[in-house]
Amino acid sequence: MSPGLKSGHIKKTPATGDLFPLKDFNGKDYCINGVVVHGNHLGRKLGFPTANLEPDKISPVKISHGVYLVKVLLTEKVYFGVCNIGQRPTIGGTKVITEVNIFDFEEDIYGKSICLVFLARLRKEKKFRSLEALAKQIKTDKEKAISLLSMFN
């Protein structure tokens, strides 16, 4: 458990068994706000386009590198998606990035502000032996995330 978090701020996600803080210290949903920026478009090439987020503030709670089910708030609309936070070791990345594949979404949102509300951790960050193996895992992550949505609707 992170220093300073009270046990009431931790929920065990039934389907994954992972622990994840669902509320901040004020009892509000934990989220990251930021602006969508251009990335290297690898997600699109793999069949899972992502919005890369340039966070607008340092969060008070460190989110571990990994893959998460998130609620995406964009211009008063709510979507869901799979978010990756990490260095992307499969492609030799060194900078920590935040990117989200928004389900059933195809709009151009570069330069727009979004908020990611973290709902459940799906897995830790991992290096894959190939881009094909990564694409297969992203598909599995998305299927797992969609199966969890009933807990949050």
> Tens digit of pLDDT for each residue in 23-53?
666 677 778 889 999 988 888 888 889 999 9
Phi (first) and psi of residue 150, to 5 degrees: -60, -25
Give me the sign of the Cα torsion angle 127, 132, 133, 135.
Answer: positive
Stronger pLDDT, 1 or 28, i.e. the higher one: 28
- pLDDT, mean over the chain: 82
Mean pLDDT of 73-89: 93
Q: Amino acid identity, residue 54?
A: E
CATH 3.90.180.10 fits 20-144, yes or no: no
Within 7-150, residue ranges assigned H as helices are: 42-45, 131-148
Report the distance separating Cα 119 and Cα 148, nearest Å: 9
Question: Domain-by-domain residue ranges, the chain?
Answer: 20-144
Q: What is the reported pTM? A: 0.81
User: Looking at residue 30, what is its pLDDT?
Assistant: 74
Mean pLDDT of 122-131: 94
Q: Which conformational region is residue 31 in: left (phi greater than 0), alpha (psi within -120 to 50 degrees), or beta? A: beta
Beta strands in 4-147 (DSSP E): 10-12, 19-21, 31-37, 51-55, 66-74, 77-86, 97-102, 113-124
